[in-house]
């Protein structure tokens, strides 16, 4: 109820004009702020929110290539960027190079209004403030599932059964979709499945790989089984291509990013069958496990290390202003993401991500060497998916490729 | 324009015309298809349900009531202010072409007229320089550029594009200058000109076909570059290609492919004008008759 | 030309290349023999939203900082990175040589290694695409040159299209067209008579698609260069050849081609190099499951969440060596020409 009242209040505030709106929040800063980050709509909103602050210049550079420039842009002294917007996979690159500062003192003085869950703590230090969450979960066509008379699958095994039924009844030839494009996407699907089977990427406390395990082989075999129900070109399908298949009505079941749920059927020209049949559910489990075969992600902002304390303070204030609860009063903004901001009420599209969190989905590992493992998986698993080599061989290749990379980066001796 | 020596028998003329037509279809078909598709919605443009939708525009009809829509163009030009990127590209292209042709012509001419061994080795070194993958070069620029506050602005990108394209420009102009007989400038030198005057009075007037062609490639490089511009330009200074890439979206979120497609189609218009304007310069120019004597 | 005059003519271009290419190459060379310091790891408790806290490993920055400050370049590893599995994989190749009972098995194991797998596609691509595009470019240039002059300008523009349309979008469109449901794909499916026929699902067909794309994309370059060269063709030579009764083919063979030869060498050099560095089509077609190249490996090393600068540097240096070896026959020829003319 509280949220609804807030929304009404927000509507009034909106009527009073944006200038008054911005000034009313009194975000006054005393030093430059410069933000680098990805460019999707939710982050554009955050960038614009930071720029509402007055008193000093706030610049943003929001680009898909942010990961390639943020380390270099924060290594100088003073750093070009005072804040980088990152996810749990990419914060490690900044921490590895030691370019972001702990926010403990800033949280203490200015942290009112941030929820404890938003603070990303690494070894007792707050290193980032998260503002949105993401996870891959099930999307399906409820009309098709009704037609064959099954419930939405809660496990991958059920997904295959449903797919077989859809195929047998001649509704669709290849009912399952998945972002299995060789490279980052394929590796991510493996991570999901591997964690669902209870696998651990590394031997605890070390950088030694342990993907060539029973869980790894099971994960690969499950992916292979799923791929039998996919379009034969699946190794070239990234999430854009997979979504295109879904919208064209060619597939009925897919594991897809929650951040894409809201726009799934709003694109121009989607057929009514897809529009009305579209539904989302939580991520599936696999192999009798209880942890969903998915990973939980967050996006958040950091503050650079090589800048003056005044700039750090200004950055903290501007970024906090950008993610203040009031931004959710705009219904468009509320739909943009699964916000981790106080007062956020999940929209229909956000159900999947919340289900993922509730079911105890593992967060994507925040390890210094996880990026190397992800790259190695992406490069070496395609051979197995094409039937060119055995699962054991593919996983042995992954470990060998990872080991070479980890030795170079100094994680393994 | 064909001289008598080039007049062809009918059979050859037909074969030649058929071949041109074949090549025309091959070269232009994907583009014409894109122009057609740019007035459709994404589901028709990439119609994997049924490819004939791309022609009939079935989903476009459902969404807009007519098989054609300018929504992609409106989105790109009005909503996303694509014209800003067009202006940036214009600035980058003009300066890259002028700078690289100026310093490249001087260098290429010198290389073609000097007979010492070092010219050969300079050419080879330039060639080896060109073998360096640009992504590695750009990754190396980042740190110093950020440190010296040069990152993100157009002049830096222009200089980098000129520099990494110099080996190509040098080689190309060197090949063209070698086709201009040495007797031309040597006779000028006999008449009392120094090397630079000979270059200016005798070579410049006849070098245009080569220079224009080289300029065309410099232009295309600056125009189409993604590796350098996407890494060295800030969001507010973006040229067209990185902006088009931005329209396409990322793994987690959807882009707007039709904005990108309309932007690509509109981006081709200035090139069309440019080629039509300069094709005479490519055709006319040096003829061997001018050399004899 | 005197040394001093030459210097002044060459100075601006030389300076640009020195600063922006030569210096970075030196730094890449240095980078490839140094690797980041060994990381001191420690276990900490990480807390994230919606989940709570878990114990994870991170880098002990305090302990690592001292190492970094003492040797800012990193630790010297010599040629280790060049020889590791991601590059020349000396140990792995040696092992495969010892273990493999048959040639087949040896090749299989060799092409399981990233660099050799990339080389197998890169070299096939380079040696097929380069001659084909030169031939196609020459044919187009001759044909367009014989057109009516009003048609020439239009034809030049349309011929340039495969080069002009940014590969970002160009490959996206072709990627759809060759999809089994796209326009070209559908045509191929009906020709093949097999509803499951797909260019993208098989390695061999994907290679063919990439090669066809390569020729299509680069032929305009060869065309424009040759076309410009044809404009400087000495007409009197052609006429005298005709008076001597040379057939059209003989005119092309003995007058046109020798005249264009320096340009052919130039196109061959540039295209051998560009094709050896093939990269964009692989990304555009999402083809990395079937075909990789050296440039793609570099992109992959630099594009991951943890950037492998040393590995990318080593691959870059190997690329330069590869190009040098590849071009050496053409270069030797250029050297002979050069010597012959002086």
- pLDDT tens, position by position, B177-189: 887 888 888 888 8
Helix (H) or strand (E) holding A297: strand A295-301
- pLDDT tens, position by position, B82-95: 999 999 999 999 99
- pLDDT tens, position by position, B125-163: 998 898 888 888 888 888 889 888 899 899 999 999 999
At B287 the pLDDT is 35
Q: Which CATH number applies to A2-133+297-356?
A: 3.40.190.10
At A6 the pLDDT is 36
Identify the residue among C299, C305, C314 best suited for mutation to test binding to A, counting A beta carbons within 10 A and taking the highest: C305
At C111 the pLDDT is 92
Phi, psi of B152 (to 5 degrees): 95, -10
C 223-252 residues inside an 8 A Cβ radius of B: 224-225, 227-229, 231-239, 241-242, 248, 251
Lowest mean pLDDT among A341-355, B183-197, C290-304: B183-197
Residues in chain A with CB shorter than 8 Å from the CB of C303 are: 67-68
Residue of chain B with shortest Cα separation from C183: B51
- C-alpha–C-alpha distance, residues B225 and B162, integer Å: 12
CB atoms A259 and B231 under 8 Å: no
At A218 the pLDDT is 97
Domains of chain B: 87-238+270-290 (1.10.3720.10)
Question: Quick check: B182 contacting C, CB < 8 Å?
Answer: no
Low-confidence ranges of chain A (pLDDT < 50): 1-24
Q: Which fold has domain A135-295+358-408?
A: D-Maltodextrin-Binding Protein; domain 2 (3.40.190)
Domains of chain C: 105-341 (1.10.3720.10)
CB atoms A244 and B251 under 8 Å: no
**Of residues B103, B159, B209, nearest to C232 (C-beta):** B209
Does pLDDT of C57 surpass 90? no
Q: Which partners does chain B have (≥3 C-beta pairs < 8 Å)? A: A, C
Does pLDDT of B6 surpass 60? no
Tokens coding A176:
């399952």
CB atoms A404 and C86 under 8 Å: yes
Residues in chain B with CB shorter than 8 Å from the CB of C159 are: 23-24, 27
More confident call, C235 vs B172: B172
User: What separation in angstroms does the CA of A274 have from each of A186, A278, B228?
Assistant: 26, 6, 41
Cα-Cα end-to-end distance for chain B: 24
pTM, rounded to two decimals: 0.90
Rounded average pLDDT over C207-223: 93
- pLDDT tens, position by position, C109-139: 999 999 999 999 999 999 999 999 999 999 9
CB atoms C47 and A298 under 8 Å: no
Residues in chain C with CB shorter than 8 Å from the CB of B38 are: none
Residues in chain C with CB shorter than 8 Å from the CB of B6 are: 146, 238
**Of residues A95, A375, A389, nearest to C300 (C-beta):** A375
| Burial category of A354 from C-beta neighbours within 10 Å (exposed 0-12, middle 13-18, buried 19 and up) | middle
At B251 the pLDDT is 66
- C-alpha–C-alpha distance, residues B237 and B222, integer Å: 15
C 297-336 residues inside an 8 A Cβ radius of B: 298-299, 302, 307, 309, 312-313, 316, 319-320, 322-324, 327, 331, 334-335
Question: Quick check: A132 contacting C, CB < 8 Å?
Answer: no
Residues in chain A with CB shorter than 8 Å from the CB of B242 are: 63
| Burial category of C296 from C-beta neighbours within 10 Å (exposed 0-12, middle 13-18, buried 19 and up) | buried
- C-alpha–C-alpha distance, residues B213 and B172, integer Å: 9
At B280 the pLDDT is 67
Question: Quick check: C9 contacting B, CB < 8 Å?
Answer: yes
Question: Quick check: A130 contacting C, CB < 8 Å?
Answer: yes
At A7 the pLDDT is 37
At A385 the pLDDT is 95
What integer best gives the mean pLDDT of chain B?
A: 84
More confident call, B267 vs C295: C295
- C-alpha–C-alpha distance, residues A203 and A206, integer Å: 6
CB atoms B42 and A257 under 8 Å: no
Give the gap in angstroms from C-alpha C149 to the nearest C-alpha of chain B.
7
- pLDDT tens, position by position, C152-208: 878 888 888 888 777 777 777 888 888 888 888 888 888 888 877 888 888 999 999
Q: How far is CA B244 from the centre of its chain?
A: 17
Give the gap in angstroms from C-alpha C74 to the nearest C-alpha of chain B.
16
Q: How far is CA C161 from the centre of its chain?
A: 20
- What DSSP string runs through C307-318? --HHHHHHHHHH
Identify the residue among A34, A72, A307 best suited for mutation to test binding to B, counting B beta carbons within 10 A and taking the highest: A72
- C-alpha–C-alpha distance, residues A203 and A211, integer Å: 9
Question: Quick check: C318 contacting A, CB < 8 Å?
Answer: no
Identify the residue among C33, C44, C57, C202 best suited for mutation to test binding to A, counting A beta carbons within 10 A and taking the highest: C57
Shared fold status for A2-133+297-356 and A135-295+358-408? yes
Q: Classify each residue of B272-288 as buried b or exposed e, where b means 16 or more C-beta atoms within 10 Å of its C-beta.
A: bebbeebbeebbebbeb
Residue C55 near residue A121 (C-beta atoms within 8 A): no
CB atoms A366 and C48 under 8 Å: yes
Identify the residue among A77, A405, A412 best suited for mutation to test binding to C, counting C beta carbons within 10 A and taking the highest: A405
Give the gap in angstroms from C-alpha A248 to the nearest C-alpha of chain C.
12
Lowest mean pLDDT among B104-118, C44-58, C95-109: C44-58
Domains of chain A, residue spans: 2-133+297-356, 135-295+358-408
Residue of chain B with shortest Cα separation from A135: B252
Question: Quick check: A98 contacting C, CB < 8 Å?
Answer: yes
Residue of chain B with shortest Cα separation from C6: B110
Question: Quick check: C308 contacting A, CB < 8 Å?
Answer: yes
CB atoms C300 and A67 under 8 Å: no
Question: Quick check: C38 contacting A, CB < 8 Å?
Answer: yes
């Amino acid at each position: 109820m509280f949220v609804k009242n807030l929304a009404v209040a927000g509507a009034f505030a909106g009527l009073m004009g944006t200038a008054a709106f911005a000034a009313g929040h009194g975000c006054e800063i005393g030093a430059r702020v410069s933000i680098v980050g990805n460019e999707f709509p939710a982050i554009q909103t955050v960038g614009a929110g930071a720029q509402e602050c007055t008193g000093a210049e706030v610049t943003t550079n929001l680009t898909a290539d942010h990961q390639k420039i943020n380390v270099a842009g924060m290594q100088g002294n003073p750093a070009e960027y005072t804040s980088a917007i990152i996810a749990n996979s990419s914060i490690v690159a900044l921490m590895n190079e030691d370019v972001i500062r702990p926010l403990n003192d800033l949280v203490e003085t200015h942290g009112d209004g941030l929820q404890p869950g938003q603070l990303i703590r690494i070894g007792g230090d707050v290193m980032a403030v998260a503002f949105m969450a993401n996870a891959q979960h099930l999307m399906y066509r409820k009309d098709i599932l009704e037609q064959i008379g099954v419930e939405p699958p809660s496990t991958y095994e059920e997904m295959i059964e449903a797919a077989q039924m859809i195929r047998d009844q001649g509704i669709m030839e290849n009912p399952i979709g998945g972002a299995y494009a060789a490279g980052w996407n394929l590796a991510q699907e493996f991570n999901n499945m591997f964690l669902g089977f209870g696998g651990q990427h590394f031997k605890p406390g070390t950088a030694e790989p342990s993907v060539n395990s029973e869980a790894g082989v099971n994960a690969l075999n499950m992916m292979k089984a799923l791929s039998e129900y996919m379009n034969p070109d699946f190794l070239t399908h990234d999430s854009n291509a997979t979504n295109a298949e879904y919208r064209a009505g060619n597939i009925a079941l897919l594991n897809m990013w929650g951040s894409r749920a809201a726009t799934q059927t709003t694109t121009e020209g989607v057929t009514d069958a897809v529009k009305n049949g579209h539904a989302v559910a939580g991520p599936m489990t696999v192999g009798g496990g209880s942890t969903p075969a998915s990973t939980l992600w967050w996006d958040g902002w950091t503050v650079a290390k090589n800048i003056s304390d005044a700039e750090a303070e200004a950055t903290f204030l501007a970024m906090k202003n950008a993610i203040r609860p009031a931004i959710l009063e705009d219904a468009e903004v509320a739909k943009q993401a699964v916000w981790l901001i106080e007062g956020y009420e999940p929209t229909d599209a956000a159900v999947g991500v919340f289900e993922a969190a509730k079911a105890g989905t593992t967060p994507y590992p925040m390890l210094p060497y996880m990026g190397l493992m992800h790259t190695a998986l992406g490069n070496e698993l395609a051979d197995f998916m094409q039937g060119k080599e055995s699962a054991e061989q593919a996983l042995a290749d992954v470990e060998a490729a990872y080991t070479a990379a980890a030795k170079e980066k100094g994680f393994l001796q | 324009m064909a001289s008598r020596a080039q007049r062809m028998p009918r059979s050859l003329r037909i074969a030649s015309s058929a071949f041109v037509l074949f090549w025309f279809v091959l070269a232009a078909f994907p583009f014409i298809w894109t122009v057609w598709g740019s007035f459709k919605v994404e589901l028709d443009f990439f119609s994997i349900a049924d490819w004939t939708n791309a022609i009939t525009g079935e989903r476009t009809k459902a969404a807009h009531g007519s098989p054609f829509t300018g929504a992609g163009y409106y989105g790109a030009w009005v909503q996303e202010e694509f014209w800003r990127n067009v202006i940036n590209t214009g600035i980058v292209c003009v300066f890259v072409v002028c700078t690289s042709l100026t310093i490249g012509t001087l260098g290429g001419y010198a290389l073609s007229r000097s007979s010492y061994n070092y010219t050969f080795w300079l050419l080879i070194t330039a060639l080896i320089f060109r073998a360096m993958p640009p992504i590695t070069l750009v990754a190396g620029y980042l740190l110093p550029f950020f440190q010296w506050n040069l990152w993100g602005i157009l002049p830096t990108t222009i200089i980098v594009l000129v520099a990494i394209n110099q080996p190509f420009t040098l080689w190309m102009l060197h090949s063209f200058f070698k086709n201009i007989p040495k007797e031309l400038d040597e006779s000028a030198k006999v008449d009392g000109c120094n090397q630079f005057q000979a270059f200016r009075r005798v070579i410049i007037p006849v070098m245009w076909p080569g220079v224009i062609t080289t300029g065309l490639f410099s232009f295309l490089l600056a125009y189409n570059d993604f590796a350098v511009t996407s890494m060295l330009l800030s969001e507010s200074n973006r040229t067209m290609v990185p902006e088009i890439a931005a329209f396409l979206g990322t793994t987690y979120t959807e882009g707007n492919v039709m904005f990108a497609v309309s932007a690509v189609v509109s981006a081709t218009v200035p090139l069309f004008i440019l080629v039509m304007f300069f094709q005479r310069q490519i055709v006319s120019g040096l003829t061997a008759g001018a050399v004899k004597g | 030309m005197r040394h001093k005059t030459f210097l002044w003519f060459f100075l601006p271009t030389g300076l640009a290349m020195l600063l922006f290419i030569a210096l970075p190459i030196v730094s890449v060379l240095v980078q490839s023999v140094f690797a980041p310091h060994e990381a001191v790891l420690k276990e900490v408790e990480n807390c994230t939203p919606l989940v709570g806290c878990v114990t994870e490993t991170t880098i002990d920055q305090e302990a690592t900082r001292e190492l970094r400050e003492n040797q800012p370049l990193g630790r010297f590893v010599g040629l280790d990175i060049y020889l590791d599995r991601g590059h020349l994989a000396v140990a792995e190749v040696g092992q495969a040589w010892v273990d493999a009972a048959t040639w087949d098995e040896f090749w299989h194991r060799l092409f399981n290694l990233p660099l050799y797998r990339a080389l197998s596609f890169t070299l096939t691509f380079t040696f097929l695409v380069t001659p084909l595009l030169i031939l196609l470019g020459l044919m187009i240039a001759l044909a367009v040159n014989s057109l009516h002059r009003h048609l020439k300008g239009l034809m030049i523009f349309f011929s340039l299209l495969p080069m002009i349309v940014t590969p970002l979008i160009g490959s996206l469109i072709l990627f759809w067209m060759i999809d089994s449901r796209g326009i070209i794909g559908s045509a191929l499916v009906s020709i093949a008579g097999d509803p499951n026929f797909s260019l993208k699902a098989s390695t061999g067909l994907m290679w063919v698609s990439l090669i066809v794309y390569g020729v299509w994309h680069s032929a305009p370059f060869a065309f424009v260069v040759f076309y410009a060269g044809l404009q400087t063709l000495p007409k009197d030579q052609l006429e005298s050849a005709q008076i001597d009764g040379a057939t059209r083919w003989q005119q092309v063979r003995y007058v046109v081609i020798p005249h264009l030869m320096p340009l052919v060498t130039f196109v061959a050099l540039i295209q051998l190099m560009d094709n050896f560095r093939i990269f964009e089509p692989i990304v555009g077609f999402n083809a990395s499951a079937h075909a990789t190249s050296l440039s793609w490996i570099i992109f992959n090393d630099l594009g991951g969440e943890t950037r492998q600068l040393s590995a990318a540097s080593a691959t870059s240096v190997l690329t330069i060596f590869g190009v040098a070896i590849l071009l050496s026959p053409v270069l030797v020829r250029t050297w002979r020409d050069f010597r012959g003319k002086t």
